[in-house]
Amino acid sequence: MIGRASILTYGCQMNEADTTDIGQALKRAGYELTRSWDQSDLVVLNTCAIREKAEDRIRGTLGHLKSLRARRPWLVVGVMGCMAAQSADYLSHEADFVIPPMEAGQLSEVLAGLPPPPGLGEEEGDLPPLEMNQETPFKRFLPIIRGCNHRCTFCVVPNTRGPEYYEPPEELFQKVGEMRDRGVLEVTLLGQTVNAYVHGGWTFATLLQEMAHRFPAVGFRFITSHPRQFSDEIIEVMATRPNVMPYLHLPLQAGSDRVLRRMKRLYTFAEYEALVGRVRSAVPDLALSTDIICGFPGETEEDFDRTLEAMKRIRFESAFMFYYSERPGTAAVNLDGKLPIPARKERLARLIRLQKDIQMEVNQSEVGRRRRCLVERTSKKDPAVMLARTPSNKGVLVPGPESLIGSYLELEIQRADSFILFASQRA
């Protein structure tokens, strides 16, 4: 070991998957990974630029790391991820190295050029080693597409991650085979627009079909899907392959066609609703989640009402809801009709209230059902309670010992609130 390193991950699952790669590069370079970043010799921030709030948190952490340098002057700070592309000028004054997503392969070279930390050996050596990131040993993420070819007017991803790049299918099959051999039970295929996958004669539907066929003991999920490219062939695979899990994350973003046009989302609400109808009738136990942005430039009260109406009609099982925040370099920055922040926040509060009520009702329909769930970890609040997940990705709390982690249980759902289900084990 040449030193201790930690990775602070912000943002989406794509970043979590990238953190696995960063962790492997750090280990190859001789670093031991630790969660104790205040006792590390090297800290890598894997950043997100998608919202202003995430950037503010990262700027705050960089400030803390600066003050840590007073105690550990050899500390090396690196920044990777989307903010490394979006705010490279600012970061070049705050960090020792800055590597944007499209150049992530340079990390090993950069690490090889770093001096060994002189503080090594001066501190207690009993720091808990970090076993990679928030993925569990049974659930892994697998990026199949990087970048995005769309140009949604609010989004930095095309600027920070570049155009779409598709991983070759044979390499993906090999990686899933290796995961399966290591005991991985569920694999989530990742991409900003995962269903846009193409490679040679492969489409996302044929890739998913082949994955499910070759690895019948592995459960597959995929995120994030763009409604415009969601083909009937994908629905067919979801409906016919039992190991493709009944979960779909399909961002709607807004219920008003006028706002959707200004966002350049390339579909109308009617098209979105029709697509949801087709998927739900083919996959009866489907859980549908979404992303919603309120307070987009020019959004009138009537537009916002359409979003509320859309949520009542679709009844999402879960939703990630945000108020619009300006991202430098995106087209929406130049749109007229900016709403004051308090007005955006007020609309977000209304959205959240509505969605909470819908989730409460939707989750009640789970009560009395039996679900085969994968036990993921102990509950944060009570070590005698386990957190498991239904095939449709709903969290379930169930009493039980830690030894259940990584096993499938047949659970009977006994009660539910807006955010979680509660179960007993079936005799």
CB of 193: closest distance to ligand SF4 in angstroms?
A: 5
Eight-state DSSP code of residue 355: H
Sequence-separated (6 or more) residues with CB below 8 Å from residue 171:
none
Instruction: For residue 317, give the 3-state DSSP assignment.
Output: coil
Q: Which two tokens stand for residue 156?
A: 């930095």
| Residues in region 42-81 near ligand SF4 by CB under 6 A | none
Query: Which of 46, 192, 209, 256: binder of ligand SF4 (CB under 6 A)?
Result: 192
Q: Does 193 bind ligand SF4 (CB under 6 A)?
A: yes
Is 400 a binding residue for ligand SF4 by CB under 6 A? The answer is no
Q: Kindly state the smallest distance separating residue 192's Cβ from ligand SF4, in Å.
A: 4
DSSP state of 253: B
User: Smaller CB distance to ligand SF4: residue 157 or 279?
Assistant: 157
How far is CA 280 from its chain centroid?
A: 23
Shortest reach from residue 148's CB to ligand SF4, in Å: 3
Q: Which of 139, 221, 226, 389 is close enough to bind ligand SF4 by CB under 6 A?
A: 226
Which one of residues 42, 45, 84, 148 is an interface residue with ligand SF4 (CB under 6 A)?
148
Binding window for ligand SF4 (CB under 6 A); candidates: 94-102, 147-155, 169-177, 297-305 = 147-155
* Residue 224: cis peptide before it, omega within 30 degrees of 0: yes
For residues 29 and 266, which CB has a smaller minimum distance to ligand SF4 in the complex?
Answer: 266
| Binding positions for ligand SF4, 157-176, rule CB under 6 A | 157-158
Which positions ≥6 away from 122 have C-beta within 8 Å?
A: none
State the Cα–Cα distance between residues 95 and 110, nearest whole angstrom.
Answer: 13
Q: With binding defined as CB under 6 A, does residue 152 bind ligand SF4?
A: yes
Count CA atoms within 13 Å of residue 379 on its CB side. Answer: 17
325 near ligand SF4 (CB under 6 A): no
Please count the CA atoms within 13 angstroms of the CA of 11 that sit on its side-chain side.
Answer: 26
Choose the binding region for ligand SF4 from 23-31, 61-69, 75-83, 155-163 (rule: CB under 6 A).
155-163
Q: Which of 61, 7, 42, 32 has its CA nearest to residue 127?
A: 32
Q: Are strands 202-203 and 198-199 parallel, antiparallel or unpaired?
A: antiparallel
Size of the site for ligand SF4 (CB under 6 A): 9
When asked if residue 146 is in the footprint of ligand SF4 (CB under 6 A), the reply is no
Shortest distance, position 157 Cβ to ligand SF4, whole Å: 4
Q: Do you know the residue count of the chain?
A: 427
Q: Which is nearer to ligand SF4, 86 or 136 (CB)?
A: 86
Return the amino acid letter for 34. Answer: T
Told to check if 155 binds ligand SF4 by CB under 6 A, we report yes
Alpha-carbon distance 378 to 243, whole Å? 25
Q: Which of helix, strand or coil describes residue 7?
A: strand
Beta carbon of residue 387, minimum distance to ligand SF4 (angstroms, whole number): 29
Residues at the contact surface with ligand SF4, assessed by CB under 6 A: 148, 150, 152, 155, 157-158, 192-193, 226
